[in-house]
Amino acid sequence: MARRATVNDLMSGKLIFYWADQYQVWWLSDTHVCLCLPGCKPNAWIAPYPAGTYAKPTSWILPINHPGMMVFE
């Protein structure tokens, strides 16, 4: 079952789901969190399927209480 990620989830190193992708916590501050795709560097872009179709960012900086960050039990 999925639920919103809490600060404890972010600090414990659990995988965080955001926009249907799994992310790891790169850094955490009092107000923001940086999520990064596993095996990628932050502030980069990747093209998942046929190259050149579209690209998506490898990291996101979000407010620590963003409702889109989910964790699975």
Q: What is the pLDDT of residues 22-42, one digit of tens each?
A: 999 999 999 999 999 999 989
Q: What is the pLDDT of residues 61-73, one digit of tens each?
A: 999 999 999 999 8
Q: What is the pLDDT of residues 45-61, one digit of tens each?
A: 988 777 667 888 999 99
Please choose, from the candidates 2, 1, 24, 27, the residue with its C-alpha nearest in 3D space to the C-alpha of residue 13: 24
Q: Which two tokens stand for residue 30?
A: 């009092």
Q: Is 64 helix (H, G, I), strand (E, B) or coil?
A: coil
pLDDT of residue 56: 87
Do 37 and 59 contact (CB within 8 A), yes or no? Answer: yes
Cα(4)–Cα(6) distance, rounded to whole angstroms? 6
Q: Parallel, antiparallel, or unpaired for β 59-63 and 32-36? A: antiparallel
